[in-house]
Structure 1
């Protein structure tokens, strides 16, 4: 990638809109690799906390909550390189990368209860694919992305495909829907072909010591603040002005909420995270249903729409954010002041806490899944308190045990549905009646927006042609060959931005090329044919 900026790093001032992993990574790379002084970097965040989708909060009394968690694996080259120089939350002599790798060497994922039906474990030794379905899957891998256009997954496979173990495992692992982008599924197959053989056991999945806010975001924020980076919370950028002429594109001003503005001088740059999968989220409670919000409450999507209207090269946000019925799902976090549920699941699954992983209820109308992480999952979690997280891909369907859609359910009702599927209503009733169980549901209208069908060009380049002093970051810009809905994708866009605007002598890390490794191809072919 060629350099497009011309300011010496010592004199550059960089404004980052948003404080998700892409922005935090950009700030680290600007200091570490480009030589920009930390005091010259300003992170503008409308919320009161950093981290974007990498969140985690709460306590034992009010209940803990995570809206979701990003999957990790060993071949995230951009991500682990970034965190290799960041001290961990609790030990300044150990990096986040080393802490995570060591944690996963002690707690190796080997799920023994990946799929359930009627409260019993299913045999997942076979993906259950017919010869025709195997052929379609292999054909998809080698189809060109351009030829797929904005086709949906359901346009490629027959109806029976969506009843197979492969689809149930694949879709709930990565949150794909039948109507999701076929091009994105192709990228996932190519990018994660080395994991296809082990997915029924969750082989190769890595977890952080705590939820990702405390394990990743807090250490990054602490490192950046120690370098002098300014975090300005409660500051919302509502528009960006550009000068576009003669093939040149230059950001000139940041328009702030409530009428303020921030002019950009000759040495100023702006890195903008486009879109957001957790934008407009709403938390419910044990006795309160979360509210499904939308574009009206969304700052990030409205900002991108204003930016996109200025130049066709700035992408097409509407294909991602205008279809909430297709992009929404609901998650929930349960807090229990008794180990009875966790003890039951350890005995039922054969997995000690933290060695299992996602459990999917295949006969759930909501297609509900849940996961029990290693405890404690929060650094402030008391020893006698346990938590687990779950989600439902089809929130508009009525439950099997609760006569409501998931979207209409309180936290208590969501757990009633879960207890019913596991056939443990009688086991859990005394603890629910004693107030030892809490559950916070979350409505997320845009969480699957990145899988909506799209065409080439709908995601803008990190550095659009002619860019002089700005970059686009995050899940909704184009990073060729890599997969959205991963922290690796966000950090890769940060590398592309920093290494493209400044002379660092460094190249963007290559995407792990398992698709051209015969070993993994043979293993994957064997796995899908079982």
Structure 2
């Protein structure tokens, strides 16, 4: 356990976190742990009723559970995430940290998918071969070796031919990481390098690690509990609308925070020496839930202010990035997920018999020929801390929700939970009796892969822009060399970098482990590419 020396803590310093996602929570923890900031001097302002941002998990057995998504984890990477959670106590295991309990859980339940791809005949496809031709290999090598300057704002389809997107590799890589063909070639290249270890085991998902429960219960709740014990102030239902600022010696300085709370406008003075950490942009902005009998409302940018403040700050300040690169095309950044709550074991029993995997060991099952490009995953149960023994929960998503289904003659985005269940059972050839007691809650997310949109290097601000004195950006929309967005690690690394820089912490941010430089890893990837 990390002991905090309160005698050396900074007393006359305040920090304000704008947004209650994992980036802000992590920044608060690093300030307390590594910069000796008093927890009582840190305030987290969140517009929603709960902290956690995109790492959410809500509901109960009666109303149905809901997860917008789940992020892939690995203990071979995620250097900053585990550096943090090695010092956050578990809520359920005395004397253990969150890292300890996660490692123990993954030792007990090892990932080895036996039904990674399923075809239109409900047959499990052989996936030992990646399905590459020599042309595919040459193109993939050229993309992975190209500099980010050469890749520029190009898309994946600018570098890879149409046939590539019919390979077994693409079906598995795209659904594991949620890539679309029109996404950024730079981001795709970064993933190839950052997760080169996973290339050789992509068909079994052997490198994927899981938290004990969903990531809200396993990451957010223990982290928030620790921060509360340190005296951190949490203010929910508070929407930040503007930052008053001035310039000092050519640097941007926040002087006050304007926010709305309980229908009233408030103003928080930011004194000299205080710091502001801003979560710019959100992958789950304007997301909406449906039900068994209704499709999720089609919300747009006009329905949410999640981008507004970043747009205000970036206007005329190129060092603060370019939000328009990410939020201008919902059609290219939207997909839909669904969470299914079951009151009997029929569906899980049928899936175990079909896949050969116990829940929590199989990872994604992707229906390769699904018009919606749909996948599901059955986690170890219980998946929620408050889930009863007679309840089972699983999650799924589809990358093409705008297309007509194979079994339901509607786009997924217009489907109710009941219709999504019918489409799923059609692909599995299950009778609807398997989901007779199911509650399916669909979730539409218009900006869920907005981080993957083609962008220039300058479109993302640094965690601490060079022209900023007391404002840091902590989110999926900052620039961190060599690391990959759409991961918990990216937000945590941005938070650690920002805290250490602004507070001159004499401790190095954990380096990205260069697995892609390992001769063994390169050789295994090469062998896999030629299978």
What is the TM-score of this pair, normalised by structure 2? 0.96
Q: CA RMSD in A?
A: 1.1
- Please say if residues 319 and 467 of structure 2, whose CA atoms lie closer than 8 Å, have aligned partners that are also in contact: no
Name 1:312's counterpart in structure 2: 318
Separation in 2, partners of 1:9, 1:148: 45
Name 2:394's counterpart in structure 1: 388
Name 1:160's counterpart in structure 2: 163
In structure 1, list runs of 5 or more residues that go unmatched.
1-7
The yes-or-no answer on 1:129 pairing with 2:135 is no
The yes-or-no answer on 1:33 pairing with 2:34 is yes
- Please say if residues 60 and 386 of structure 2, whose CA atoms lie closer than 8 Å, have aligned partners that are also in contact: yes
Residue 27 (structure 1) shift: 0.2
Separation in 2, partners of 1:180, 1:102: 36
Name 2:243's counterpart in structure 1: 240
With 289-298 and 93-102 compared, the bigger mean Cα shift is at: 289-298
Name 1:84's counterpart in structure 2: 86
Separation in 1, partners of 2:108, 2:489: 23
Separation in 2, partners of 1:87, 1:456: 38
Q: Which residue of 333, 337, 357 maps to 2:343?
A: 337
Separation in 2, partners of 1:66, 1:47: 15
Residue 125 (structure 1) shift: 0.7
The yes-or-no answer on 1:400 pairing with 2:400 is no
Measured against aligned partners, the alpha-carbon deviations of 1:47-95 in whole angstroms (never above 9, x if no partner) come to: 1000001010111111011000011001211000100111112123211
Residue 508 (structure 1) shift: 1.5
Name 1:468's counterpart in structure 2: 469
Name 1:362's counterpart in structure 2: 368
Q: Which residue of 186, 199, 208 maps to 1:183?
A: 186
Name 1:251's counterpart in structure 2: 254
Separation in 2, partners of 1:162, 1:55: 32
- Please say if residues 416 and 425 of structure 1, whose CA atoms lie closer than 8 Å, have aligned partners that are also in contact: no
Name which structure has the greater RCO, CA cutoff 8 Å, separation 6+.
1
- Please say if residues 14 and 268 of structure 1, whose CA atoms lie closer than 8 Å, have aligned partners that are also in contact: yes
Residue 267 (structure 1) shift: 2.3
Residue 147 (structure 1) shift: 1.1
Separation in 1, partners of 2:283, 2:94: 32
Separation in 2, partners of 1:395, 1:446: 13
Measured against aligned partners, the alpha-carbon deviations of 1:164-192 in whole angstroms (never above 9, x if no partner) come to: 00100010110000100000000000111
SS of 2:170 mapped into structure 1: helix
With 9-18 and 21-30 compared, the bigger mean Cα shift is at: 9-18
Name 1:508's counterpart in structure 2: 509
Separation in 2, partners of 1:373, 1:158: 35
Separation in 2, partners of 1:217, 1:322: 30
Separation in 1, partners of 2:131, 2:166: 9
- Please say if residues 251 and 468 of structure 2, whose CA atoms lie closer than 8 Å, have aligned partners that are also in contact: yes
- Following superposition of structure 1 onto structure 2, how do residues 75-114 of structure 1 map, counting pairs within 5 Å? 75-114=77-116
Separation in 2, partners of 1:10, 1:337: 52
Separation in 2, partners of 1:461, 1:240: 19
Residue 427 (structure 1) shift: 4.5
With 354-363 and 134-143 compared, the bigger mean Cα shift is at: 134-143
- Please say if residues 153 and 184 of structure 2, whose CA atoms lie closer than 8 Å, have aligned partners that are also in contact: yes
Name 2:225's counterpart in structure 1: 222
Name 1:138's counterpart in structure 2: 141
- Please say if residues 406 and 414 of structure 1, whose CA atoms lie closer than 8 Å, have aligned partners that are also in contact: yes
Measured against aligned partners, the alpha-carbon deviations of 1:458-480 in whole angstroms (never above 9, x if no partner) come to: 00111111321110001000111
- Following superposition of structure 1 onto structure 2, how do residues 232-311 of structure 1 map, counting pairs within 5 Å? 232-244=235-247, 246-257=249-260, 258-311=264-317
Separation in 2, partners of 1:135, 1:244: 51
Residue 229 (structure 1) shift: 0.2
- Please say if residues 89 and 214 of structure 1, whose CA atoms lie closer than 8 Å, have aligned partners that are also in contact: no
The yes-or-no answer on 1:73 pairing with 2:79 is no
Residue 239 (structure 1) shift: 1.5
SS of 1:285 mapped into structure 2: coil
SS of 2:443 mapped into structure 1: strand
Residue 245 (structure 1) shift: 5.4
SS of 2:483 mapped into structure 1: coil
- Please say if residues 422 and 432 of structure 2, whose CA atoms lie closer than 8 Å, have aligned partners that are also in contact: no
SS of 2:268 mapped into structure 1: strand
Separation in 1, partners of 2:288, 2:305: 14
Measured against aligned partners, the alpha-carbon deviations of 1:391-437 in whole angstroms (never above 9, x if no partner) come to: 01001100000010000000010010000011112542xx52xxx11
What is the TM-score of this pair, normalised by structure 1? 0.96
Q: Which residue of 211, 215, 224 maps to 2:214?
A: 211
Measured against aligned partners, the alpha-carbon deviations of 1:301-345 in whole angstroms (never above 9, x if no partner) come to: 111111111511110001101111110000000011110110111
Residue 213 (structure 1) shift: 0.5
The yes-or-no answer on 1:57 pairing with 2:58 is yes
SS of 1:360 mapped into structure 2: strand
